[in-house]
Amino acid sequence: MTQHAAGRRGAPWDRRRLLRAVTLNGLGLLLVAAGWYGTGGAGEVRGQIAWVNIAAAGSVVVAVANGMLVLAGRRLVALRTQAYLGAVSVPEWPLTARGPNSRSPRAMSLAEDAFVAGDTMRWYHRSDCLCAIGKALAEASRVSHERAGRRPCRVCRP
């Protein structure tokens, strides 16, 4: 795998992005300083409002510049991590033994009508749920499971 093209070694940001962040931070601090200078020079509140707005705009510029920098860095790190983990397949929800779209029509009808759970279990599952495979469970309808105080499994989401 080659060095990521977006940034220099040791940091995800390229020079242009860093320069933009530094410039915007400087501009924001300059606006805050101008606001401070302006409010100090004005004798009345009426004359200070505009300068306070300028200073507030400067702080917003600083916040946006820093937020953009951090978000860009997080995104670049995530992209590079995904490049490493690209070969690992992540199953889609709901997590079942055969995958979300690979059930036979019979299994689908069973899954719609009957769900499985054990006598002492707190959750009821689809019959092909990863949490139910290999266990001796009894089938029953959703209503009867919920009457018994069980809740739907969070993995297979029956």
Partner 1 sequence: MDLAKIVRHQWDRVAAAVLVGIGLVALLLGWIGASGTSFPAEQIPYIVSGGLFALCVVAIGTTLWLSADIRDEWCKLDHLDTTIARHTAALESLSVTVIPEAEPEPRPRAGTGRR
Of 147, 154, 101, give the one whose Cα is nearest residue 130. Answer: 154
Please give the backbone phi and psi of residue 96, each rounded to the nearest 5 degrees, phi first.
Answer: -125, 165
Where does this chain touch partner 1 (CB under 8 A) — which range of 33-41, 89-97, 126-134, 136-144? 33-41
Where does this chain touch partner 1 (CB under 8 A) — which range of 29-37, 98-106, 115-123, 124-132? 29-37
Q: 3-class SS at 117? A: strand
Contact call for residue 27 and partner 1 (CB under 8 A): no
Q: Which amino acid is at 46?
A: R
Which residue from 14, 27, 36, 118 is in contact with partner 1, where contact means CB under 8 A?
A: 36
Q: How crowded is residue 66: how many other Cβ atoms within 10 Å of its Cβ?
A: 14
| Alpha helices per DSSP H over the chain | 15-41, 45-85, 105-113, 142-147
Contact call for residue 28 and partner 1 (CB under 8 A): yes
Contact call for residue 15 and partner 1 (CB under 8 A): no
Which residue from 19, 50, 63, 138 is in contact with partner 1, where contact means CB under 8 A?
A: 63
Contact call for residue 86 and partner 1 (CB under 8 A): no
Quote the distance between the C-alpha of residue 117 and its chain's center.
Answer: 32
Instruction: Answer for the pair 97, 128: CB distance below 8 angstroms, yes or no.
Output: yes
Where does this chain touch partner 1 (CB under 8 A) — which range of 37-45, 94-102, 107-115, 145-153? 37-45
Contact call for residue 144 and partner 1 (CB under 8 A): no
Contact call for residue 20 and partner 1 (CB under 8 A): no
Contact call for residue 44 and partner 1 (CB under 8 A): yes
